[in-house]
Amino acid sequence: MILRLLIILPFLIGSFKSGAQENLTVFEGKEIAISGGWNLTMNKFLSYSESIQTQDYVAIDVPGTWNEISWHGNKVGAFGYGTYFKSVVVSKNATSTNFAIEVPEVSIAYKVYANETLIGQVGVPGENETETRPKIDYKVFAFEANPGDTVTLRFHISNFSNKSGGLWYAPKLNYEKELFEKVELNGAFKLIVIGCILIGALFQLSTFIRRSSERSSIYFFLVCLSLAMLLLTRGDLPFMDLFPSASWSVLKKTMYLSIVMIGPANALFLRMNFPRFFHKQITNSIGILGVALSLFIVIASPRITYSIIPYYHACNVLIGIYLFVSLVRAAIAHKFGARFLLVGYLAAFLAVLHDILASNYVIPGYSFNLMHVGIAFYILQLMFMVIGRYLFALEGKEQLSAHLEKVNKELEEIVDRRTKALKDKNEIIELKNAELKSALEEKDHLMAVVAHDLKAPLSSIQGISNLMKSDLKGQTAEFNEMIHKVTVDGREMIENLTDLKVYEREDFELSKSSISLSDFYDQKKICYQELAEKKNISFTPLLDMEKKEILTDPNVLGRITDNLLSNALKFTPKGGTVDFKLSNKNEILVLTVADNGQGFNEKDKTKAFQKFQRLSTRPTDGESSAGLGLSIVKTLVDKLGGIIDLQSEKGEGATFTVSIPLAKK
């Protein structure tokens, strides 16, 4: 049954044929709807006397439209003008002479008369589109009549803009005082409902502006806005009370926008709250359809857009059924607020469905108040659900805060215990450090004593070996040479070790002075040229000066240069090459020593500057190596604030580059 109704819904507007009915209504002292059979004369605005005398009319049902009736053998259609007239007999028992009729939306422009008296109008009706000024409004018009009088009500109606023409809804007749009291009371109630909805909408919009991640707020705003727009443009048209100068076009666009927004807005909002039960692609498609139609309504003329509205009414019914089924599934799954919201949603859906069917004359009778009550009930339940979720979240936050407070207290106790334990451990470590420091100082003192005590006998052995050189021959001379070499190496190791200890001390201070870079270079060049020639090594020095004099510690710089050059000569085979370059540019002294010796593998490079490290390479002519030379170089370069870089591949030599910032004079 519902499916059949949805299929024929777009084609039912104005589909009821007029029939001959008694053109007389009696007012018995209670409000009545002047419905049923009216007389209609097309293409004429009849005067009072003409309406009494004319026989040229057709009977037409009100509420309804003139679209489908035949006039002089031709179908009227939507556009045209004419006169509706009907007689009302006032009961002799009437208690007042002041009466009023309540006229809902009536076509596009009309004037209404009680007998010969014009009692009101909306817009300006005319005989063509040029003369007609369209407007839609809800009005109450007062007139006077005595008990027992017969009053002929006439409507001069024009329609050259809307999809339907005629007396859409039946006027209501009552005593003036009672009718105005009812209208004021209903209007106040509806404005309060609309105001509450708009306040809720603005609150949700402000929430979304503050936190754009809360998409549920913007969807709730759209729900409230669409429902408020629908209530503003239906029934007694509060929209015209708020904006009395608004045109027919603005009113229609606002109403059409509410119709196309209401389904998508509810679909998106409900999916945000019950995501498991609303298919994402379906709701997104509904949303896209709503946005597209909203843009179309804003841009296009209402004369174009009203043709799609009956079809979208059917679409809204389908959307409403889908949302209802999804809410039922959420309620069955006991989702928070689903059962509570389901009742309100059903009330709003039935109210809107009643509005759709009644406005298209599918069902008899009409009640705008029913729609207001249904929507108000739904909005209240939406707000209660949002508040409930907020309170639920707040309660959860309080419970979480209490839990976190408990956890923090436990953590503080754990931290206190561990801090105390660490304090005890730190005291132990400090004690051990003091013992270690004392042991290191004792070791250094012992090493100094041992080094001093070893120097004397080694010097004596070296001196005796030198004296015996000239008197020894053969194998004895070779043994003497070995003794001499061992004593020299031993003294060198002791001196390096002693020097390293001095350099590593925190109170070691540099002694900077101005030196001639060329003199320093020449000294090293002469010294190591001679050593290189003894080993048949090609020695290539190079000086590139920007400043002739530099400010540095000459002893430290000399020690760095000596260690690098002596190492290069030690580990370069006979016939090899050693390059030595000094340059100073941009306040940076660069010392480069390169050789084509044995080079370093990756493991060697990681420990090259550490103390007492035995690397894979060995001196090429039996020279000694205690593993302290490069460690001393690294320590002294650091003291000067410089850096040292090693580039080498196994079997392809090594290049040491020292960069030292020069002190300003």
Average pLDDT value for residue range 461-466? 65
- Amino acid at position 646, single letter: L
Token pair in block for residue 188: 């106040």
Which pLDDT belongs to residue 17? 34
Q: Sorting pLDDT into bands at 50, 70 and 90, what band is 532?
A: confident
pLDDT score recorded for residue 288 = 92
Q: How confident is the model at residue 32 (pLDDT cuts 50, 70, 90)?
A: very high
Segment 141-197, tens digit of pLDDT: 999 999 999 999 999 999 998 888 999 888 999 999 999 888 888 878 888 888 888
Residue-level pLDDT at 112: 96
Pure H helices in 274-367: 280-299, 302-305, 309-332, 338-359
- Provide CB contacts within 8 A for 153, sequence distance 6+: 34, 85, 86, 87, 88, 101, 112, 113, 114, 171
Which of the residue ranges 190-204, 217-231, 383-397, 639-653 would you say has the lowest mean pLDDT? 383-397
Q: Specify the higher pLDDT residue, 229 or 365.
A: 229
Strand-pair category, 24-27 with 80-90: parallel
pLDDT above 50 (res 27) = yes
Helix (H), strand (E), coil (C) string for 395-412 = HHHHHHHHHHHHHHHHHH
- Is residue 167 within 8 Å of residue 156, measured between CB atoms? no
Signed CA dihedral, 602, 606, 608, 611: sign only: negative
**pLDDT greater than 90 at residue 606:** no
Beta carbons of 655 and 594 less than 8 angstroms apart? yes
Closest-CA residue to 196 (of 12, 379, 470):
379
CA dist 549 and 573 (Å) reads 35
As a whole number, the mean pLDDT across the chain is: 81
Tokens 């927004």 locate to 261
Contact 164, 67 (CB under 8 A): yes
Rg (CA), the chain: 53
Tell whether the torsion through CA atoms of 220, 224, 230 and 233 is positive or negative. negative
Share of the chain above pLDDT 90, in %: 23
73-101 pLDDT, tens digit per residue, is 899 998 999 999 999 999 999 899 999 99
